A and B are shown apart, each in its own frame.
Chain A
Amino acid sequence: MAVAAHDSKPIEGYLPIDPPVTVDGERVTIDARGVYYRTLNEAVRRSVTGGATEVVLENVNGQRYIGTGVPGAGVRIVVRGTAGQDTAMFMDGPTVEVFGNAQDGVGNTMNAGRVVVHGDAGDVLGYGMRGGTVLIKGDVGYRVGIHMKAYERQVPVMVCGGKARDFFGEYMAGGMLVLLGVDSRIDGPVVGAHTGTGMHGGVIYVRGEVEPWRCGAEVGVSAADDQDMARLVPVLEEYCAAFGADIEAISASSFTKLAPVSHRPYGRLYTYL
């Protein structure tokens, strides 16, 4: 879509110039240096509708919404640099692999696809996420996995290899959220406070112990049993395959399971007038 005249002024220090694009068969390389996010994402979408199956973005420095509005499940987007806010937001199929860190909102309201971040990521990851997989190698911030949900065959999975801050899995309604605490630069507990507050579906697995006081009143805390491990091990294997981690070492520890005590946490809150 053409940029309309009244939007074409310099925005936030960027000129709306098209980025340099190198085409090599179905592989397209785009130099993102100094390119405004809107023109960068237009170039990605243009490449994909033009038949590219792999789009490599070089010199990414915080451009937003990479992977948003990109059609096609067979498409792989490689990000070199720091992926900006809301990477893979509303994404519906493609794979985004970030060689670097990612900012806030990775996988926000994501429907399908796969995100792999070879580094740390920020706050509010996977908010309202309904499907697909998000793998973060290292630490994550606050409010991660809020209101993840599941519907029929769509069951989202997010694995964070490092530690997480407060409100991990708040309002969780479905899917699987895994926290390993193994690849971390945070000096502190594996997870912050208010974990799983308002949880009414899905499951959280945390490697090692979680003190019950860190969890919301709606969360039941137990040790992961064999059945849980049968679900968890394939996900751990996926994490290890993505980042070259040692599955033996990771699965050597016990896991704690956090699950909702009710699917109707607020069913008794009201008196009907």
Chain B
Amino acid sequence: MPTSLVQPEFKVHIDYDKCHKCGRCVQQCGWNVYSFAERPVPEDAKCRACHRCVTYCPAHCITIKKHELAMRENAAWPSALRQGVWRQAETGGVMLTGMGNDQPYLSIFDHLVLDACQVTNPSIDPLREPMELRTHFGRKPDNVQVESDGEGGFRLAEGTSTERTIALSTPIIFSPMSYGSVSLNVHRSLAMAAERCGILMNTGEGGLHADLYPYADHVIVQVASGRFGVDPEYLNRGAAVEIKIGQGAKPGIGGHLPGEKIDQAVSETRMIPQGTDAISPAPHHDIYSIEDLRQLIYAIKEATGYKPVGVKIAAVHNVAAIASGIVRAGADYVYLDGFRGGTGAAPKIIRDHVGIPIEIALAVVDQRLREEGIRNHASIVAAGAIRSSADLAKAIALGADVVAIGSAALMALGCHLCQGCHTGSCSWGLTTQKPELTRRLDPEWGAERLSNLVGAWSHELQEILGALGVNAVESLRGSRDRLRAIGLDEQTCAILGVKPAGL
């Protein structure tokens, strides 16, 4: 009987006339595609098209192509579904994959367009005029009270200023990616870039490695259901604390960091023994209600002298009511992760079929919090495939205070979206703990590229704001009138609070 019915997805082609026979591809591939017998010989089935070998081949002689075997056309049975059946018939396992939902659902961002000033109101040139991107992250006061400072001047009364918020230089933060799922050099890159850009990185649920302590003012520390690495010192180091309830890639699902990724350093940071699975239960077992969530929020505040505490949830059907409960429970921010959000490992069926788009979740949450008069009580973070500054601007117009980027940040560090994070063999040295792979990322190089990306998006956001004729990102926030829809149905437009183009 055949060992497998699953055929390779890619074909590795080497132009041997050009090949130097140097073996660089053998050395670079984390998936062990190449063996060497006088010249490199590829095993197509192992290739994930991550282009590490292509990038590093000095002779530029490697090409990766789709392995296009003709199959009888059947619209009901695309190739991926047939392969899934064969694979599961072989193994009996749950299909595990990495990165975000890759299915061709409608992308709402791609059906929204922004406004610009013409004739009747002037646009602004951000190269020559001030353009404010500074964003105060966290709870804002209900009203402003001014009192005398006793020296003939005035000041904001205590509790009515923005003293408890975190000032970000630009409305972009890095999304949580745990040390364990990504390498320490990824964490170092993110932390250094966060400091340089005046923004925040997020530990994810794997604890805070000692190397990141100098950057702790730019770090959100996360508390997830496994409570890995959570002690009073950890909670107090961060600029803010985040309770992770859910993740866009796997709403309602816990996490299993496999034992082989728990080496000495990961073990120290998570405070668990080496080699055992790090299991995060699906729910926090001390949170079965909004009241319980409030209890945890205030436990963290009691333990930290009342630092900002945020709550991250996956965007699901009743997200508006849930977010309202979260804000009423005392959260300083609500982090909404749409169904295209990335992951280090998730069951493919969950990743591709559970949750709702961030655009919808964001619009309904912002609307609900406004209607209830509590929008100022918490910032909204939008995440789940923010792919460009256009998505950033549209998210802010739909009501986000800040966007979080994870997949884009990893791509800045070399990620090619090959979806192999869960294997622990990332050739780019990002989602792995193998020392021979993790040393491929120089944190200084990584921090520079991340800073470049954040800087470039910020400049583009300033250009967009200038074209809109406003001089601060605050003026775009929740300003849905500056958006128009193209090709969205009436009901979706109503939910988004956006008119169709032409109206």
Binding site for B on A (CB under 8 A): 1-2, 4-8, 38, 41, 64-65, 68-69, 85-86, 89-90, 92, 104-105, 108-109, 111, 124, 127-128, 130, 143, 146-147, 149-151, 154, 167, 170-171, 173-174, 198, 200-201, 263-273
**CB atoms of A146 and B281 under 8 A apart:** yes
Q: Shortest distance in angstroms between B296's beta carbon and chain A's nearest beta carbon? A: 8
Q: How far is the CA of A125 from the CA of B186 in the complex (A)?
A: 36
**CB atoms of B145 and A5 under 8 A apart:** yes
Q: How far is the CA of A7 from the CA of B330 in the complex (A)?
A: 11
Task: Provide the residues of chain A in CB contact with B91, threshold 8 Å.
Answer: 271
- 18 A-B residue pairs with Cβ-Cβ distance under 8 Å, sorted by A, are A2-B158, A5-B160, A68-B303, A86-B295, A90-B235, A127-B227, A130-B227, A146-B281, A147-B285, A170-B281, A171-B281, A173-B272, A264-B258, A267-B277, A270-B93, A273-B87, A273-B348, A273-B419
Task: Provide the residues of chain B in CB contact with A90, threshold 8 Å.
Answer: 230-232, 235, 299-300, 303
**CB atoms of A265 and B277 under 8 A apart:** yes
**CB atoms of B286 and A127 under 8 A apart:** yes
Q: Shortest distance in angstroms between B1's beta carbon and chain A's nearest beta carbon? A: 18
Q: Beta-carbon contacts of B287-300 to A below 8 Å, as 1s and 0s?
A: 00000000100111
Is B371 on the interface with A (CB-CB < 8 A)?
A: no
Task: Provide the residues of chain A in CB contact with B90, threshold 8 Å.
Answer: 271
Task: Provide the residues of chain A in CB contact with B295, threshold 8 Å.
Answer: 64, 85-86, 105
**CB atoms of B303 and A130 under 8 A apart:** no
Q: Shortest distance in angstroms between B474's beta carbon and chain A's nearest beta carbon? A: 21
Task: Provide the residues of chain B in CB contact with A38, threshold 8 Å.
Answer: 302
Task: Provide the residues of chain A in CB contact with B273, threshold 8 Å.
Answer: 150-151, 174, 201
Task: Provide the residues of chain B in CB contact with A263, threshold 8 Å.
Answer: 259, 275-277
Is B317 on the interface with A (CB-CB < 8 A)?
A: no
| Chain B: CB-nearest residue to A129 | B227
Q: Among the interface residues A7, A38, A65, which one has the most CB atoms of the partner chain B within 10 A?
A: A65
**CB atoms of A68 and B95 under 8 A apart:** no
Q: How far is the CA of A174 from the CA of B277 in the complex (A)?
A: 12
* Contact pick for A130, options B159, B231, B304, CB 8 Å: B231
Which 8 residue pairs of A and B lie closest in terms of their CB atoms, listed nearest first? A5-B159, A271-B93, A128-B227, A4-B159, A271-B91, A270-B96, A151-B271, A263-B276
**CB atoms of A272 and B96 under 8 A apart:** yes
Is B141 on the interface with A (CB-CB < 8 A)?
A: yes
Q: Shortest distance in angstroms between B168's beta carbon and chain A's nearest beta carbon? A: 21
| Chain B: CB-nearest residue to A142 | B285
Task: Provide the residues of chain A in CB contact with B276, threshold 8 Å.
Answer: 173, 200-201, 263-264
Q: Shortest distance in angstroms between A10's beta carbon and chain B's nearest beta carbon? A: 15
Q: Among the interface residues B164, B286, B298, B303, which one has the most CB atoms of the partner chain A within 10 A?
A: B286
**CB atoms of A147 and B303 under 8 A apart:** no
**CB atoms of A268 and B277 under 8 A apart:** no
Task: Provide the residues of chain B in CB contact with A104, threshold 8 Å.
Answer: 286
Q: Among the interface residues B92, B97, B164, B271, which one has the most CB atoms of the partner chain A within 10 A?
A: B271
**CB atoms of B302 and A270 under 8 A apart:** no
* Contact pick for B285, options A124, A154, A174, A267, CB 8 Å: A124
Q: Shortest distance in angstroms between A45's beta carbon and chain B's nearest beta carbon? A: 9
Q: How far is the CA of A171 from the CA of B303 in the complex (A)?
A: 25
Q: How far is the CA of A172 from the CA of B87 in the complex (A)?
A: 32
Q: How far is the CA of A7 from the CA of B423 in the complex (A)?
A: 48
Q: Beta-carbon contacts of B231-242 to A below 8 Å, as 1s and 0s?
A: 111010000000
Q: Shortest distance in angstroms between A243's beta carbon and chain B's nearest beta carbon? A: 26
Task: Provide the residues of chain B in CB contact with A41, threshold 8 Å.
Answer: 302
Q: How far is the CA of A174 from the CA of B274 in the complex (A)?
A: 12
**CB atoms of B160 and A6 under 8 A apart:** yes
Q: How far is the CA of A147 from the CA of B160 in the complex (A)?
A: 41
* Contact pick for B93, options A64, A265, A269, CB 8 Å: A269
**CB atoms of B272 and A151 under 8 A apart:** yes
Task: Provide the residues of chain B in CB contact with A124, threshold 8 Å.
Answer: 285-286
* Contact pick for B232, options A92, A105, A154, A170, CB 8 Å: A92
**CB atoms of A149 and B272 under 8 A apart:** yes
Q: Among the interface residues B95, B160, B231, B258, which one has the most CB atoms of the partner chain A within 10 A?
A: B231
Task: Provide the residues of chain A in CB contact with B286, threshold 8 Å.
Answer: 86, 104-105, 108, 124, 127
Q: How far is the CA of A174 from the CA of B299 in the complex (A)?
A: 24
Q: Shortest distance in angstroms between B266's beta carbon and chain A's nearest beta carbon? A: 12
Q: How far is the CA of A68 from the CA of B236 in the complex (A)?
A: 13
Is B406 on the interface with A (CB-CB < 8 A)?
A: no
Q: Among the interface residues B87, B90, B96, B273, which one has the most CB atoms of the partner chain A within 10 A?
A: B273
Q: Shortest distance in angstroms between A41's beta carbon and chain B's nearest beta carbon? A: 6
**CB atoms of B142 and A6 under 8 A apart:** yes
Q: How far is the CA of A130 from the CA of B272 in the complex (A)?
A: 9
* Contact pick for A68, options B92, B94, B299, CB 8 Å: B299
**CB atoms of A147 and B299 under 8 A apart:** no
**CB atoms of A198 and B231 under 8 A apart:** no
**CB atoms of A200 and B277 under 8 A apart:** yes
- B386-437: which have CB < 8 Å to A? 419, 422-423
**CB atoms of B96 and A271 under 8 A apart:** yes
| Chain A: CB-nearest residue to B276 | A263
**CB atoms of A5 and B158 under 8 A apart:** yes
- B58-91: which have CB < 8 Å to A? 87-88, 90-91
- B131-190: which have CB < 8 Å to A? 141-142, 145, 157-160, 164
**CB atoms of B306 and A1 under 8 A apart:** yes
| Chain B: CB-nearest residue to A263 | B276
| Chain A: CB-nearest residue to B419 | A273
**CB atoms of B303 and A69 under 8 A apart:** yes
Q: How far is the CA of A147 from the CA of B285 in the complex (A)?
A: 9
**CB atoms of A4 and B158 under 8 A apart:** yes
* Contact pick for A89, options B267, B272, B299, CB 8 Å: B299
20 new A-B pairs (CB below 8 Å) besides A4-B159, A65-B303, A201-B276?
A1-B305, A4-B158, A65-B299, A68-B303, A69-B303, A90-B231, A90-B232, A104-B286, A105-B286, A124-B286, A128-B227, A130-B227, A201-B273, A263-B259, A265-B279, A266-B256, A271-B90, A271-B92, A271-B96, A272-B96
